[in-house]
């Protein structure tokens, strides 16, 4: 990787911060080559603690950076891209993190030969345990994807796929984080019903979810395989699993991912511009 | 406390290994460092010794020899073997020993009944993620175990994961929540992945992302110190994908069924505990 690669973030929220932390951890990009822009200085503090430069000018940031993450709320994307489009060259790489904003929309708001990628991270990027899926726009080549993947490797799991998978990733992994929270809460509440104090039950539930998730991720085995490995005949586990199946946890959880995915698709359709709008 | 504390494991299975790894990493603050040479494991066959020896741990086939040469002994054999193991070693157990049983469903009363009456006994319920130092462990002190015995155990186990102490009544709940809970998480992760597959994501990728999502969310939850309901509401964009999905989970009764899973597993643990209890006059020395 070019050690002079300059990375910019438009937007100074949680996602920008989590990604910035991961980018810096790779050691390939010094903090002085990273810049963030936002209208107010309110969120600059933690970026500055990383040694990252700050600015209030999006145009200045784009002009002084090679790869720019657009990490603003979805409804701000149109105005932000309109603001910077005159400063975008064919050498730039623009990576949008805005949920529900399609590559077609992004490319329509920028010069027609701009290299654009679309990235869907998730909240655990904040602790470098994210799940991130990206998709390449029309002008983004294999090496642009490889560069992005390399930059993001310390943010968590990084995968590439067709744009159609981004909505699924939103449902599974973006909203999935909240589904896990609900599940962990239910585990704890079951223990509270049985007589364990609430704070302890929640603490143990959280640790159990973390530990099981790590075993699952690192084993490379199918969860059904792992599940059968831990079911002592006639033991406590198979009794509990039966209750989960009887309660239809599997189906309801599948429905949750399906519903969230369909909502993501719906929101994506709503935000798409008409074909002749905004094209430069 | 003697800085030459010697730790023994009767049984060389997954739990013994996970705990041994954690113990060696702890650089025990109370007792000074525990070097591998101060750790020993015993088992009938050498089949499982390999990974212990890679840690630098000593091995033996003699349970009696292990007990005689160790100060704190983890009894990490399958529950149905506990009676014969304890009967075998009881003549070598002194008041200076600390015996920690890891056997599921075997009560402190049973353990204490099989050992000399003034033995310091603790009962420990770990879980499988101890293997990767992300376990959730609950222990309970027997009649003769003092506060400092509990503190020593907690200190030894700190690198195994989360370590808590509680009354024996909580051990069955811990079994349901955290022992069996690991499998409940597996089922949940599988369902997440299957939902994504239905929507068009390839299976291997879906499972990989689901596992990472569970791990990441679990870490955020554990490290935030916030109630999961609080965290949940922080991530629900109005009209967004998350609240749509959560509604589906509630409509499907995931919360109730998951509570029932923990309840059922706990009740089964209690039932197994009752079945394994000896009669009052059995086995007392």
Reduced to 3 states (helix: H, G, I; strand: E, B; else coil), residue B218 is helix
Mean pLDDT, residues B94-99 taken together? 97
Instruction: Tell whether B174 lies on the interface with A, counting CB pairs under 8 A.
Output: yes
Would you state the pLDDT for residue B280? 42
- The string of pLDDT tens digits covering residues B200-239 is 999 999 999 999 999 999 999 999 989 999 999 988 989 9
Would you state the pLDDT for residue A225? 94
Instruction: Tell whether B137 lies on the interface with A, counting CB pairs under 8 A.
Output: no
Could you tell me the mean pLDDT of each successive run of 10 residues in chain A, 280 residues long? 87 94 90 96 95 96 97 92 96 94 95 97 94 98 97 97 97 98 98 98 98 96 93 93 98 98 90 50
Would you state the pLDDT for residue B27? 57
- Please tell me which residue of chain B has the smallest CA distance to A237: B180
- The string of pLDDT tens digits covering residues B132-187 is 999 999 999 999 999 999 999 999 999 999 999 999 999 999 999 999 999 999 99
Q: How many CB pairs under 8 A join A and B?
A: 449
Q: How many residues does chain A have?
A: 280
Q: What span, in angstroms and rounded, lies between the C-alpha atoms of B173 and A201? A: 9
Structural contact between residues A67 and A93, judged by C-beta atoms closer than 8 angstroms: yes
Phi and psi torsions of B158, nearest 5°? -60, -30
CB burial class (10 A; 0-12, 13-18, 19+) of residue B282? exposed
- Beta carbons of A171 and B131 less than 8 Å apart: no
Would you state the pLDDT for residue A54? 96
Rg (CA), chain A: 21
Residue B76 counted as an annotated binding residue: yes
Instruction: Tell me the ipTM for this assembly.
Output: 0.93
Q: What span, in angstroms and rounded, lies between the C-alpha atoms of A78 and A69? A: 15
Instruction: Tell whether B255 lies on the interface with A, counting CB pairs under 8 A.
Output: yes
Put simply, the chain A residues between 96 and 125 with a CB less than 8 A from any chain B CB are 99, 122-124
Whether this prediction's pTM lies above 0.80 is answered by yes
Would you state the pLDDT for residue A280? 41
- The string of pLDDT tens digits covering residues B253-285 is 999 999 999 999 999 999 988 877 655 444 444
- Please tell me which residue of chain B has the smallest CA distance to A212: B182
Instruction: Tell whether A188 lies on the interface with B, counting CB pairs under 8 A.
Output: yes
Q: What span, in angstroms and rounded, lies between the C-alpha atoms of A37 and A57? A: 6
């Amino acid at each position: 990787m070019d050690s002079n690669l300059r990375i910019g973030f438009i937007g100074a929220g949680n996602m920008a911060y989590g990604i910035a932390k991961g980018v810096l951890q790779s050691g390939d990009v010094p903090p002085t080559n990273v810049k963030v822009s936002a209208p107010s200085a309110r969120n600059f503090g933690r970026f500055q603690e990383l040694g990252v430069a700050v600015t209030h000018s999006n145009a200045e940031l784009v002009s002084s950076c090679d790869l720019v993450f657009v990490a603003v709320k979805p409804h701000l994307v149109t105005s932000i891209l309109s603001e910077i489009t005159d400063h975008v060259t064919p050498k730039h790489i623009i990576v949008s993190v805005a949920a529900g904003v399609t590559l077609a929309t992004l490319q329509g708001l920028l010069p027609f030969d701009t290299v654009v990628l679309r990235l869907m991270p998730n909240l655990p990027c904040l602790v470098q345990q994210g799940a991130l899926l990206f998709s390449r726009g029309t002008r983004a080549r294999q090496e642009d994807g490889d560069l992005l993947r390399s930059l993001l490797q310390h943010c968590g799991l990084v995968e590439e796929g067709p744009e159609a998978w981004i909505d699924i990733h939103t449902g599974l992994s973006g909203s999935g984080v909240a589904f896990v929270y609900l599940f962990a809460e239910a585990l704890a509440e079951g223990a509270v019903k049985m007589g364990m104090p609430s704070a302890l039950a929640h603490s143990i539930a959280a640790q159990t979810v973390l530990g099981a998730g790590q075993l699952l991720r690192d084993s490379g085995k199918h969860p059904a395989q792992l599940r059968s490995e831990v079911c002592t005949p006639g033991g406590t586990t198979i009794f509990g699993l039966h209750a989960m199946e009887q309660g239809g946890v599997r189906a309801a959880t599948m429905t949750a991912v399906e519903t969230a995915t369909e909502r993501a698709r719906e929101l994506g359709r709503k935000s798409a511009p008409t074909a002749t709008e905004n094209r430069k």
